[in-house]
Structure 1
């Protein structure tokens, strides 16, 4: 039989799927729905590499299996087309981002289709389309009307390279997550979304969703909930107070100084009383130039300056304590001030030693030794030197001391979060314009809904200025407008929205985009039945790097829209799967590193089906793995074997087609059906493919093979290698697509394992016997053996020096 001609056959089936709408979802169906979604890509001018395709292949396999299981599957695709990547490439090449973006989309769409991915292209969206960003702007206005969008002057993260403001989530280790340059601070008027209003729900509702634990932990840590006590430290002979938040109020008797952030307003307010004001001012100005990462670095020696001339009163014992200003305290966290307890906090301990400050021990361990005074004791314990609270446990003391302070109106229970409101203003061109207008008379006014979209003008000079102003300020036609309230001369907001705003609602759009017209009003109300039918997303596949950006923002959007009455669910993605990264030549694939493998080369040489199989065979789907150029040959040979088996049925006579498969092969087939079915559900694609390879090899050796059993193999292979499977299915005489066939079901009788008596020896003597299945693993055998009462009787209090395991026969424990 001739070698499988992948180039001709793959193009044939790609055209067939599109022409016949094989993967088009139905809005009205009695079938159960399954909404499978990939994180939509930004259209890179360089196209996709094989690492990108891994996640798309995972979702596609699941979607195709669901289709064969009788589900009504929605598996859409679109483009996250606004933002810095597209604009930076346009600046580099001198070509307008509208042109480069469309060119990139065309290329990537071709690659996705060539990969055999079964998307419903009738619902394709593009975030830079005016038809789409009209509704991004509408979402902004809805949040604004609800008090969830506001403008304020704030110290913000500013990337001097990208020349724009960044949200906290976009600063990684003090650097811009996009260009890796050091981020500085600027005071600018900016727009924010009040994501902090949802902090508690964002934490609590993580328990509702089937997401990887690592993502849940990352989000919980980023939101950073702390429960404790807010304590008032009074400034003597003054109306001023310094509120301090702590989770360890049980150590309050050990507080010997307090520390405020360099940005604290109390420094200027108490200027006349501060005897070393110039020294304090010099320190604070220097501190403000440092990045947050520099200020919080664990390995950096802590610095500070005592604010002389003023003290604070410790409310628990009325003792005066000095006040320091130090750069390791930030205004964004808690109250912007901390109480320092050197005996029970290592950072405070080192600071106190450096500045010769008092150290008071107030907690002793219950059952262990403390290294104090050489080192701070930071754990809970029993209170000492704490007045009437002496002798209480830390847990009891936290409650009692908080109650005492509350009664004296000097403290209260408090909850603080590290999460800051989402800064959405960007001083860049390539984004959705913020639909707000500033009138000198009326102040900030929202653009009327009927005037949406506020179109992004096509300007020649879209280079950012670098002084905190958007390039849109250069367009007088865009800038100058009329006030929606008084009709007077006014100016448009020239900042554009963070591209993460566009991606915070796109999963809703897929439910109705194929029916969307240029309508006014609320699309969410207009299409509420379709949204209710399809949402939430059943499976969301994408990278873990979006844990505290897109995934958090999308959750906020859904909760806000539910509160506004537009949707009836409060989590967008029921299940999340993060694919592992593919490395090449020892590093993550990157154009800048020169280690990218283009799928186009693989399509040409080996075919898309080979690439799909290899992508998931090289390792567990959720773990990083190494691309090996030679490794793909094995996947290619496997598919050739599947293809060559077809020759038996194309050449044999009608009489030969009545032959039966031998029982051993039949059993292996049904065991493979069971394993592949279960492995796909648990994302163990590599072991599923391995079992298919074993089955194919055995079928190849078999003297007799029934066509019906070969067809079952092809159905199992179909989600992994769709082109090959369709071609074989057609050649076997079937007219409809293989994806309209039912997913194979295994015969329970054929997958039953044979059982035998397994011998358990202790020091070579038979001490027990147990009936187990043949082929059981060593790990499972040991689990069974050590759980048995007889075994425990012989090995109790004994050291097991060696374990001898003979598969399907015996185990010998040497003690």
Structure 2
């Protein structure tokens, strides 16, 4: 890429960012004379430099903010930063302990030795990266009201007070409770692990609730605890699986003297974190265990223990029950053993398969789906995963329980599953158990487990009335794309009580009534959008003097106004005015990964705290940022790039354009193809040069047909681009702009050198407006250079267009294509002139009659034998009946295109004539929409 051109972009960007800052262009204040638009983006977690994934979501928000300003809205786009949780504390701790890897990473990122010393303190780390993040976001060209910036935790005492108020309100409503609950936990750091305390790819993964089925070794008082998510399949167990490469031991539970066989892995820690007191008492020779038998506690059937490498010794219990009729892994595992020393046992297990559920279209579901998907063995992991999902989905919703289930027979699985499991628990043959699938590490580098914590504080998302309000909110919101609405409904139903407070050693806001707990990172970030409305004003009040009555007055319209003013000053009226003008949030845009947590919490907390008129109005989502090959961006793959490095290498506008063209508002991942930077750079420079060289540089004429056609096309595209902007479909916006470019190229061809200054100016203005939300720096420069005020541009309004012009020009292009094809068929010989012969009136009259009788063409063939050739042509080209025009209009259009045809065919003369007056022998070939063509 040409570095001089990149510097050209950077200089323009620096210039306009300075102007925006000096003029305070994006300082947004209430204006009752304008419609408002309040848009937000989840504040980024600043445990390091921002990455390009943040730029994806952030740019998408800035584009809609700039577009809405073009539409005349008073737009508020504020930005804060998230510091809550353990990652910052963990990284500071690593620095203090001389972590060489982290020190090298920081130095590679350009952090000085002096600054690294500051980062050893969590507060120093947080504030350093807040400053760097703000710098990067400004350099990206985001139109943010920076007066309203804040960050979480005690480092911003005003926000701390706001969160304390929020949680007191929730507790008053009975929505914050205490009790036992499973949480993701770091057993080494001794803290719960929230989404921000783990690698991004594991966000949203919570405890998996399953069941331990208490199988016992035959003739021995030792339990084999088989973990399952499908307790209802216990009736069909043929064998037990263990991993032949694992190391298993016997553990004594000192709580009740039970003995368990378990793998020597993290699962033992997970057991002990859930009320067990296990102590290893004996190693087991895995070879001796395989082939032994155990007892099904429900049926008392004797089943063998067999080896399977698909058993994960780090999740569940490392022991799995096998139900080959209903589990693809189990069926394929037994099939694999048919070629081993265990073939006789495996064959017996396959012969003893029981079908537990009647599934329409299947006899033995797992077997048939394995065969349909052509799964060869246990190494076909992805196919097995897909098959498992298919079987489970089929059976869960459609499977009818057979007579073996007694009182539950005839019911569907989803109707009976929980009651069956409860029966097993009551019979002491099963226990509830939690695990992590998949197992992952916390940001401290330790494997996480599921721990049941007592006296843990929870948000009561299980509350049915709270869920009901959340569903009501979702029903009345706008979603981009629309199909995400159902996903939110499902997530609201799915959410259970959430551990909202962690160890006090984390950064955050302490629970106001129990300072030994700190509110965790996903729970202090749910209604902060309301704080944005007052963030620039509340700093005028001493935070130590702030009590709940201030927030009650502003956000809940409670309290005596005179007393509040007397206590805090007249600034509180301005704060209330700001909140009531800007709220609710009109649009919150974020990545799809936040649907099951942050975005759902955002809805829950708003409906709990605020009146309905302040409930959120819209949510837009986008997929993950991936590279051109669809790979996640990571340092290990070598495709990771920080936002600051991307801006340095590509400039803001080029990066913004690449992001815009990467995706629409959808679940699809955004392929950020930085390899397109050269194309984007040339494209934008080309438009910059064309605009300056051509605006107000051409003579203006009375509009010709082709002027009217292009103006019609321009208006139509303006409306279509407007529709795509409204849906946040920026990839579609870019594609529509490319369509505009193609149409303008066609216009220049059709105009044959006589281009109209009015049309050229309108093209430049409209295209610049279409591009402005995406690449605001270079477009501002273009507007200034051509003499227009970049601060007073508006999106085109009252646009009128008709589809007739499209139809007309489609006809011209069709004839032009036929001319070119015919010349190619004639080996591109040189001709002096071409005759284009328009069909007779009689044919047009016949076509008009056929247009209204498309289903009677065969009848016409029988009744009008003289028209057989014409009718046969129509039957083969039925589309023409919808496309052909009036005879005179076709004649007029062809005459308007004579210069184009001459140029394309390289001939001196084009003659347009009617069939009736033509002397050419081929004149009878002329049809409406398909004139006869004669090269001379």
TM-score bin (small chain): 0.5 to 0.7
Decide whether aligned partners of structure 1 residues 659 and 21 sit closer, same or farther in structure 2, where only a CA change above 3 A counts: farther
Decide whether aligned partners of structure 1 residues 699 and 634 sit closer, same or farther in structure 2, where only a CA change above 3 A counts: farther
Residue of structure 2 aligned with 1:60, choices 59, 62, 66:
62
1:687 is the counterpart of 2:735: yes
For 2:411, the equivalent position in structure 1 comes to 395
Secondary structure of 2:719 counterpart: helix
Asked if structure 2 preserves the Cα contact closer than 8 Å seen for 1:61 and 1:720, the reply is yes
1:63 positional shift? 1.6
Decide whether aligned partners of structure 1 residues 331 and 24 sit closer, same or farther in structure 2, where only a CA change above 3 A counts: same
For 1:779, the equivalent position in structure 2 comes to none
Which stretch shows the higher mean deviation, 374-383 or 571-580? 374-383
For 1:499, the equivalent position in structure 2 comes to 521
Q: Output the CA distance in 1 between the equivalents of 2:413 and 2:90.
A: 56
Residue of structure 2 aligned with 1:715, choices 769, 787, 791:
769
Matches within 5 A, 1:636-651: 636-649=682-695
Per residue, is there more strand in 1 or in 2? 1
Aligned Cα root-mean-square deviation (Å):
6.5
For 2:143, the equivalent position in structure 1 comes to 118
Matches within 5 A, 1:337-486: 344-345=326-327, 361=354, 363=356, 368-370=362-364, 386=404, 394-395=410-411
Q: Output the CA distance in 1 between the equivalents of 2:40 and 2:646.
A: 25
Q: Output the CA distance in 1 between the equivalents of 2:661 and 2:421.
A: 62
Q: Output the CA distance in 1 between the equivalents of 2:227 and 2:642.
A: 56
TM-superposition CA deviations, 1:515-546 (whole Å, max 9, x none):
33432215653332765654554333333344
Decide whether aligned partners of structure 1 residues 594 and 89 sit closer, same or farther in structure 2, where only a CA change above 3 A counts: farther
TM-superposition CA deviations, 1:18-62 (whole Å, max 9, x none):
34443333435254432322222233654x455543332222222
Secondary structure of 1:125 counterpart: coil
Decide whether aligned partners of structure 1 residues 167 and 642 sit closer, same or farther in structure 2, where only a CA change above 3 A counts: same
1:763 positional shift? 11
For 1:288, the equivalent position in structure 2 comes to 268
Asked if structure 1 preserves the Cα contact closer than 8 Å seen for 2:195 and 2:522, the reply is no
Asked if structure 2 preserves the Cα contact closer than 8 Å seen for 1:79 and 1:125, the reply is yes
Which stretch shows the higher mean deviation, 102-111 or 72-81? 102-111
Decide whether aligned partners of structure 1 residues 25 and 340 sit closer, same or farther in structure 2, where only a CA change above 3 A counts: same
Residue of structure 2 aligned with 1:670, choices 702, 706, 715:
715
Decide whether aligned partners of structure 1 residues 265 and 113 sit closer, same or farther in structure 2, where only a CA change above 3 A counts: same
Matches within 5 A, 1:169-568: 176-177=198-199, 249=232, 254=236, 271=257, 277=259, 280=260, 287-289=267-269, 314=298, 344-345=326-327, 361=354, 363=356, 368-370=362-364, 386=404, 394-395=410-411, 493=516, 496-516=518-538, 517=541, 518=543, 519-521=546-548, 524-528=551-555, 534-548=582-596, 552-556=597-601, 558-560=603-605, 562-563=607-608, 565-568=609-612
Secondary structure of 2:536 counterpart: helix
1:29 is the counterpart of 2:32: yes
1:581 positional shift? 1.6
Q: TM-score normalized by structure 1?
A: 0.59
Asked if structure 2 preserves the Cα contact closer than 8 Å seen for 1:536 and 1:574, the reply is no
Asked if structure 2 preserves the Cα contact closer than 8 Å seen for 1:366 and 1:382, the reply is no
Matches within 5 A, 1:736-815: 737-739=791-793, 741-749=794-802, 752-754=805-807, 766-767=875-876, 769-770=878-879, 771-772=881-882
TM-superposition CA deviations, 1:245-265 (whole Å, max 9, x none):
98675x676578999xx9999
Decide whether aligned partners of structure 1 residues 303 and 71 sit closer, same or farther in structure 2, where only a CA change above 3 A counts: farther
Secondary structure of 1:386 counterpart: helix
Asked if structure 2 preserves the Cα contact closer than 8 Å seen for 1:341 and 1:348, the reply is yes
Q: Output the CA distance in 1 between the equivalents of 2:422 and 2:11.
A: 79
TM-superposition CA deviations, 1:611-642 (whole Å, max 9, x none):
43343346667543253456334444434434
Decide whether aligned partners of structure 1 residues 596 and 743 sit closer, same or farther in structure 2, where only a CA change above 3 A counts: farther
For 1:786, the equivalent position in structure 2 comes to none
Largest Rg, 1 or 2? 2
Q: Output the CA distance in 2 between the equivalents of 1:575 and 1:445.
A: 29
Asked if structure 2 preserves the Cα contact closer than 8 Å seen for 1:679 and 1:687, the reply is no
Secondary structure of 2:60 counterpart: helix
Q: Output the CA distance in 2 between the equivalents of 1:397 and 1:89.
A: 47
For 1:200, the equivalent position in structure 2 comes to none
For 2:112, the equivalent position in structure 1 comes to none
Residue of structure 2 aligned with 1:98, choices 100, 123, 128:
123
Decide whether aligned partners of structure 1 residues 773 and 613 sit closer, same or farther in structure 2, where only a CA change above 3 A counts: farther
Matches within 5 A, 1:11-50: 11-43=14-46, 45-46=48-49, 48=50
Decide whether aligned partners of structure 1 residues 159 and 686 sit closer, same or farther in structure 2, where only a CA change above 3 A counts: farther
Decide whether aligned partners of structure 1 residues 222 and 51 sit closer, same or farther in structure 2, where only a CA change above 3 A counts: closer
1:687 positional shift? 0.7
Decide whether aligned partners of structure 1 residues 288 and 266 sit closer, same or farther in structure 2, where only a CA change above 3 A counts: closer
Secondary structure of 2:522 counterpart: helix
Asked if structure 2 preserves the Cα contact closer than 8 Å seen for 1:263 and 1:331, the reply is no
Q: Output the CA distance in 2 between the equivalents of 1:303 and 1:290.
A: 26
TM-superposition CA deviations, 1:457-514 (whole Å, max 9, x none):
xxxxxxxxxxx987689xxxx99xxx999xxxxx962x64433333333333223323
1:225 positional shift? 9.9
Q: Output the CA distance in 2 between the equivalents of 1:605 and 1:328.
A: 47
1:75 positional shift? 1.6
Q: Output the CA distance in 2 between the equivalents of 1:708 and 1:376.
A: 61
1:703 is the counterpart of 2:751: no
For 1:238, the equivalent position in structure 2 comes to none
Q: Output the CA distance in 1 between the equivalents of 2:228 and 2:634.
A: 44
Asked if structure 1 preserves the Cα contact closer than 8 Å seen for 2:41 and 2:590, the reply is yes
Matches within 5 A, 1:537-616: 537-548=585-596, 552-556=597-601, 558-560=603-605, 562-563=607-608, 565-568=609-612, 572=616, 574-583=618-627, 588-590=632-634, 595=639, 608-616=652-660
Residue of structure 1 aligned with 2:671, choices 612, 618, 625:
625
Secondary structure of 1:150 counterpart: strand
Asked if structure 1 preserves the Cα contact closer than 8 Å seen for 2:38 and 2:583, the reply is yes
Residue of structure 2 aligned with 1:167, choices 185, 188, 193:
193
Per residue, is there more helix in 1 or in 2? 2
For 1:135, the equivalent position in structure 2 comes to 162
Q: TM-score normalized by structure 2?
A: 0.53
1:754 positional shift? 0.9
Decide whether aligned partners of structure 1 residues 383 and 644 sit closer, same or farther in structure 2, where only a CA change above 3 A counts: closer
Asked if structure 1 preserves the Cα contact closer than 8 Å seen for 2:633 and 2:639, the reply is yes
